[in-house]
Amino acid sequence: MEEKTKIKYISEMLNKRTKGKDYENFVINQIYARVDNPELEIVTQKCVRPTKGIDTKNLTKVGKNHYLIDLYFPQINLAVEVDEGHHENIENQLNDKQRENLIKGSVSCDIKRIKICKPGTKIPQEYDDIIQQIKKMVVEIKGKISEWEKENHQKLKWITNDEKIERVKKCKVFDACKAIHFGGITKVLNLLSETKNYNKYQRCVKKFDIYSIWIPVLSVRLDDGTVKTANGWKNFINESEDEISEFPSSKSYKKGLDTYKAEDGSCPPKWGTRKRVIFMKMKNDFGDDCCRFLGVFKPDHIEYEGGKQKRIYKRIATTIAFAEIVRKS
């Protein structure tokens, strides 16, 4: 994952991410320029994963059940949607309402809209009318910044992901609540070691005496019921991110994995001894591969589906010190 300077990050967010979306690009750039606060973090095309219980069958999808927010300010938790002509369609307006519910259920943010076209048409409004909406939005954003600063007794400060990683290096603790994006297992292992270089390490698991670092590739269940996996292993995480289910691959069974099944649901000795420090593979806001720390998990129990193991790991901690991970038994 490429480390981005602040100016490169902003440039790509304001231009590359909205390429080909002329009105949206214009509105977003106008808002950012008029707010004129370099400490305000921006995310364009913010990817949101839906929560359960929302009817999403008629919504525009990105991949599997992912949706995009045009402009998002994470520090003040405000989203801005730029509604072009197709949003004036009655059916699409109903979809927009569903989509708002989905986003609020996932991110719990305020959502504001800027209308590009005249009501009920695909005819763009006059320039001055759109600018007035933008000015009103800018006033609201500045107001939310003031509220944030008053509540937190400090000036707004944009802390980049790289700066967050530097803080992790200093405190030498992984914390799931920080939501920091790491570049992959090599980056994680290099944080732990001050002497050894892990740049050529390619496996998703690294074993230490008491713990294992594990960065599983999560499986995706498609609409037709089939499951996309990595190397045949199926890994699923629950919505609260505190339980992971792991189905070993068919190759593992051929190697004799099924010879130590525990039909009573207890943990086989070969499986249930080492705790796992788990990071989840994901994409950052630019679509780059990265991983995020989920916590410390322990083998909990085994279930069986179709005669095969389903291993359950449950989270026991959301923080762990570097020294604890590499501690000798």
Is the Cβ–Cβ distance between 103 and 110 less than 8 Å? no
Say which range, 8-17, 70-79, 182-191, 300-309, has the weakest mean pLDDT. 300-309
Q: Please provide residue 131's backbone torsions phi and psi, each rounded to the nearest 5 degrees.
A: -65, -35
Listed ranges 7-16, 36-45, 109-118, 226-235; the one with the highest mean pLDDT: 36-45
What value does the mean pLDDT take over residues 129-149?
Answer: 97
What is residue 243's predicted lDDT score, i.e. its pLDDT?
92
What value does the mean pLDDT take over residues 46-51?
Answer: 70
- Apex 211 CA angle, 295 and 184, nearest 5: 60
- Enumerate the domain spans of the chain: 6-152, 161-325
Does the structure show a pLDDT above 70 at 226?
no
Residues with Cβ within 8 Å of 195's Cβ and at least 6 positions away in sequence, in order, are: none
What is residue 55's predicted lDDT score, i.e. its pLDDT?
45
Please report which confidence band the pLDDT of residue 54 belongs to, taking 50, 70 and 90 as the band edges.
very low
Question: 116 or 102: which carries more pLDDT confidence?
Answer: 116
Residue that the structure tokens 């359960």 belong to: 52
Distances (CA, A) of 292 to 17, 173, 190, 249, 278: 22, 14, 15, 24, 9
What is residue 47's predicted lDDT score, i.e. its pLDDT?
77
What is residue 75's predicted lDDT score, i.e. its pLDDT?
94
* Beta bridge pairs of residue 304: 309
Please report which confidence band the pLDDT of residue 3 belongs to, taking 50, 70 and 90 as the band edges.
low
Is the Cβ–Cβ distance between 314 and 168 less than 8 Å? no
What value does the mean pLDDT take over residues 79-91?
Answer: 70
What is residue 18's predicted lDDT score, i.e. its pLDDT?
77
Counting residues of the chain whose pLDDT is more than 70, the rounded percentage is 75
**3-state SS assignment for residue 79:** strand
Read off the pLDDT of residues 274-324 as tens digits, 9 standing for 90 and up. 899 999 888 777 778 889 999 999 998 888 777 777 889 999 999 999 999
What value does the mean pLDDT take over residues 51-78?
Answer: 64
What is residue 89's predicted lDDT score, i.e. its pLDDT?
55
**What amino acid is encoded at 60 in this protein?**
T
Is the Cβ–Cβ distance between 313 and 277 less than 8 Å? no
Does the structure show a pLDDT above 50 at 190?
yes
CB burial of residue 32 (10 Å; 0-12, 13-18, 19+): buried
> Any alpha helices (H) in 111-242, and if so which ranges?
127-152, 161-171, 185-192
What is residue 62's predicted lDDT score, i.e. its pLDDT?
38
What is residue 49's predicted lDDT score, i.e. its pLDDT?
67
Question: 178 or 189: which carries more pLDDT confidence?
Answer: 189
Distances (CA, A) of 235 to 4, 128, 317: 31, 52, 20
Is the Cβ–Cβ distance between 127 and 27 less than 8 Å? no
* H-helix or E-strand spanning residue 73: strand 67-73
Is the Cβ–Cβ distance between 276 and 214 less than 8 Å? yes
Q: What gap in Å lies between CA 161 and CA 3, rounded to an integer?
A: 9
Pairing of strands 211-214, 205-207: antiparallel
Please report which confidence band the pLDDT of residue 51 belongs to, taking 50, 70 and 90 as the band edges.
low
What is residue 152's predicted lDDT score, i.e. its pLDDT?
95
Q: What gap in Å lies between CA 310 and CA 234, rounded to an integer?
A: 9
* H-helix or E-strand spanning residue 294: strand 289-305
Residue that the structure tokens 């591969």 belong to: 289
What is the per-residue DSSP string for 146-177? HHHHHHHTS------HHHHHHHHHHHTEEEGG
Please report which confidence band the pLDDT of residue 251 belongs to, taking 50, 70 and 90 as the band edges.
low
The token pair at 81 is 């949607």
Residues with Cβ within 8 Å of 15's Cβ and at least 6 positions away in sequence, in order, are: 25
Read off the pLDDT of residues 113-134 as tens digits, 9 standing for 90 and up. 999 988 877 888 999 999 999 9
* Beta bridge pairs of residue 83: 115
Q: What gap in Å lies between CA 296 and CA 279, rounded to an integer?
A: 9
Say which range, 121-130, 239-248, 252-261, has the weakest mean pLDDT. 252-261
Does the structure show a pLDDT above 90 at 232?
no
